[in-house]
Amino acid sequence: MRILASMILTAVAFAMAPSGAQAQTPPQLRTCLDNATPQADRVAACSFVIMNAPPAEARELARVYFTRGNAYLALGVYDRALADFDAVTKASPAASGPFNSRGVAFLRQKQLDRAIAELDQAIRLNSNDPIAFANRGDAYRDKGRFDRALQDYDAAIAINPKSVNAHFGRAMTWQQKASSDFDAFVNEGRFEELAVAEYGKLLQIVPRHAHALSNRGLLHHTLRKYDLAIADFTQAIEISPANPFFLRNRAQTYRMIRRFDLAIADYRNALALTQDADGRKLIGELLAQLGVAV
């Protein structure tokens, strides 16, 4: 089962200092630029500024477009996000941020070659940006170019040893190599152990990273370290109790150690949290295998 990364970076720093006149700007501009503003509200506030009170300085206006573009990106409105990033590049062609954000937009749409091209340019403009390297690593990983992805994650970690996304991507890459790389069959367990170690580094930085815990639990399950797998799944569930996948993962391990009562309880809880028909059908089949009617 291919495990998808749960997080892709979208917060990109745009190297533009705010002007000293910002104190006199309308409240919509402050709302637009406030990171605590919900994304839909940021779009509305930034749009008001662009239409009704655009900053006089081109660089400041570009900053508003960039902010709105990242808000659209977070909302999954990719065509409008790309249009805003294009507007930023016209005003400030040497800024790396818009290329990085465009790369994320194409990455999310699985246009991987276009994503890599944009991220290449972001790195050319700013070779000291760990975010761009981590994002490009994600694109190469999605292409199945695992060794190339690892190079980018290593570069990101060299710049910022606490880059959560780079450590997560690196662990994911080892995890995917374990299930798809021929060397995994020759060196059984080696890639899994490398992935476990990488998740351990990530969890030292962010101890309550639920997806890292669940993914490490899957690796421990594969390595037949069932007690460790259950401990990881349990922590993930405590952090994110509404995630049915974590419950299904723990149920799978309970089945392996023949704790069918606990497996059934987890499957039932997962079923109550699952909305999609395919997911509910799968859980129903798993319960039926244990002699339980849905």
Question: How do residues 214-234 score in pLDDT, each as one tens digit?
Answer: 999 999 999 999 999 999 999
Q: List the single range of 10-19, 122-131, 175-184, 216-225 with lowest mean pLDDT.
A: 10-19
User: Which tens digits make up the pLDDT trace of 147-167?
Assistant: 999 999 999 999 999 999 999
Give the dihedral sign, CA 107/109/113/115: negative
The pLDDT of residue 52 is above 80: yes
User: Which tens digits make up the pLDDT trace of 176-194?
Assistant: 998 886 665 556 778 999 9
Q: Are 65 and 50 in contact (CB under 8 A)?
A: yes
Q: How far apart are CA 36 and CA 29, in angstroms?
A: 13
Q: What pLDDT was estimated at residue 8?
A: 34
Q: Which residues have C-beta within 8 Å of that of residue 224, sequence separation ≥ 6?
A: none
Q: What pLDDT was estimated at residue 218?
A: 97
Q: What pLDDT was estimated at residue 174?
A: 95
Give the residue with greater pLDDT, 45 vs 7.
45
Q: What pLDDT was estimated at residue 293?
A: 86
Q: How far apart are CA 294 and CA 92, in angstroms?
A: 59
The pLDDT of residue 10 is above 50: no
